[in-house]
Structure 1
Amino acid sequence: MINKVFIYDKQSKNVFLQNIERYGDYITVQEIFFNNDYDIKKFNFFKKEDEIKLKTKLIIDCGANIGCSSLFFYKNHPNSFIIAIEPEKKNFNLLKLNTKEIINKRLINSAISSEEHYFDLNKSDDSRAHKVQIKKDYNLDQLKTFTVNNILEEYSENEYEYFLIKIDIEGFEKKLFEKNTEWIDKFKIIIIELHDWMFPFKNQSLNFQKTILNSGKFKDIIISGENLILINY
């Protein structure tokens, strides 16, 4: 069983590794570091001067899994503060290992939602496919979800540029975009994987679509791998 993947970084000409446990982790490494699905620098809207800012770039990684996406964002945008959110414990332990080189970060072992509530995980054999479920009954050991708005309250726009939010939460985007979506216009870039294919005829992305249509900003949309990349302007 392979438990480490070595990756050559063309920019720095260095080799780094990512710790994995399951086949799904290896697919994640491939998608992020070999397919470059989160590489926004390859598109025309991104300009070099965007990196020359006095404020620290704030990047929120919702559904950070084993940390590959967080590390990718950090390597491509080193003047950034990474907030990585991952609810599943095994994934979160790998996330901590795989993001050790990120200096400015906050790791949250929880889920993201439109409001604070208790939750359970419907676990899958595929490490990428654990699903968050709302929990009405709870005990003292259970965690509450975080909201994007509450997180942003801790990071003032005077100090941080709300640069990028990535969302890959295995269908829970239906709940995330249900309400309290003011934050959607604050980030320059939104990267999201929608999961209508996983839940056919369930209006899984309807709340997201409504949020975008009611947005106060124009948004260009680019398809990159399994993701939509939205650029606010």
Structure 2
Amino acid sequence: MNYSKLYHLNGLARAIGWRKSLSVLLRRALGIGAPMKVRCRSHELLIRPTDSDLFVISQVFGHGEYEIGEAGQSALNRLALDWRKKGFIPVVVDAGANVGYSSIFLRNQHPDAIVMAIEPDPQAFETLVSNCAGLEQIIPIYGALWSHDGEVELVNSNSPSWARAVSDGQGVPSITLDSLLAKLPKTKLLVLKMDIEGAELEAMRECGKVLKDVPCIIVEPHDFMFPGRGCLTFVYSSFGGRSIDSLVNGENLIFIASALLAPKAAKRNTTKAARFNS
């Protein structure tokens, strides 16, 4: 999606206020890249004026592009609480967490879940760690979601940090979704968020069982960058036999189990949760 400058400016002002927005934009114009602190809702966050941080914070906190609606959020939080009562740890995987804005947003949306924030760019990851410091609910993980546990290569390193991708190679730790979830005991995947610049096909290649059970997937599609690759093939194939609601918010496709949104679902917590607890 090609956003206008006005869209980003409006989102930036919504997120951090006009005064700080003008300060960020001035530093960007002057080429001053040193991180600066901004107040965003109840958080003190770092923003790098000459990188893509101002666009990311605009989309995440200004325009709420990871919001799934009150009904979806409430249903997922009821499910997470039900899992907690049964001894499971609800997990939100934030793949392509960048500097941590999305991880903090998702943490605020789902207070009973642990957010595993995975990011392969070392500079962005350093900022993520700083932004998420003190938030025990967020676990920063340096690496890339991939089809094997090993290493991958960070490519297009001259691009803004939100556009950096990985491919086969060496230099950055890689981890499968199964291995990521195994880092904690008795986990259940509540939300899978992916913004991984076209790596969706490879990252989801061996994830059939997990994808079939996850109640909500939020993904930014990148087929426009790689025509013919079918980046979301394994995501779509996991929906076979399931009733799924599809939403669009900003750049993101949001898929959520229809049963969670059914009118009577809120009154039938046990029945609703049974599918995901089996």
After TM superposition, the score normalised by the length of structure 2 is: 0.70
Deviation at 1:221, TM superposition (A): 1.1
Aligned to 1:129: 163
| 2:18 paired residue number | none
State the AA in 1 paired with 2:67: D
Asked if the contact 2:116–2:139 (Cα under 8 Å) also holds between the matched residues in 1, the reply is: yes
Q: Is residue 96 from structure 1 mapped to residue 129 from structure 2 by the alignment?
A: yes
Higher fraction of helix: 2
2:20 pairs with 1:29: no
Per the alignment, residue 100 of structure 2 pairs with 67
After superposition, the C-alpha distances for 1:162-182 in whole angstroms (9 at most, x for unaligned) are 211101100001212333322
* 1:24-173 superposed matches below 5 A: 24-40=52-68, 42-47=69-74, 50=78, 52-53=81-82, 55=84, 56-122=89-155, 123-135=157-169, 138=170, 142-157=171-186, 160-173=187-200
For structure 1, the 5+ residue unaligned runs are none
1: CA distance, partners of 2:92 / 2:229 = 30
* Alignment: residue pair count: 218
Query: Which amino acid is the alignment partner of residue 145 of structure 1?
Result: S
Report how far residue 8 of structure 1 moved. Answer: 4.6
In structure 2, what is the Cα distance between the partners aligned to 1:5 and 1:53? 37
Residue 226 (structure 1) aligned to one of 251, 261, 266: 251
SS in structure 2 at match of 1:145: strand
Cα distance change on mapping 1:112 and 1:231 into 2, 3 Å: same
Write the distance in 2 (CA, Å) between the matches of 1:174 and 1:34.
Answer: 29
Kept after mapping to 1: 8 A contact 2:143/2:172: yes
Identity %: 24
* Alignment check: 8 A CA contact 1:4 1:17 kept: no
Cα distance, 1:43 vs structure 2: 4.3
Unaligned runs of 5+ in 2: 1-26, 29-34, 260-278
Aligned to 1:200: 227
CA distance in 1, matches of 2:53, 2:118: 17
Q: Which has the larger radius of gyration?
A: 2
1:81 Cα deviation from its structure 2 partner: 1.0
Backbone CA RMSD of aligned residues: 2.3
Query: What residue is the counterpart of 2:38 in the other structure?
Result: 6
CA spacing shift, 1:206–1:58, aligned 2, 3 Å: closer
CA distance in 2, matches of 1:115, 1:105: 23
Task: Give the Cα–Cα distance (whole angstroms) in 2 for the partners of residues 161 and 204 of structure 1.
Answer: 24
Moved more, 50-59 or 75-84: 50-59
CA shift, 1:53, in A, is 3.6
8 Å CA contact 1:117–1:134 kept in 2: the answer is no
Contact 2:211 2:235 in 1 (8 A): no
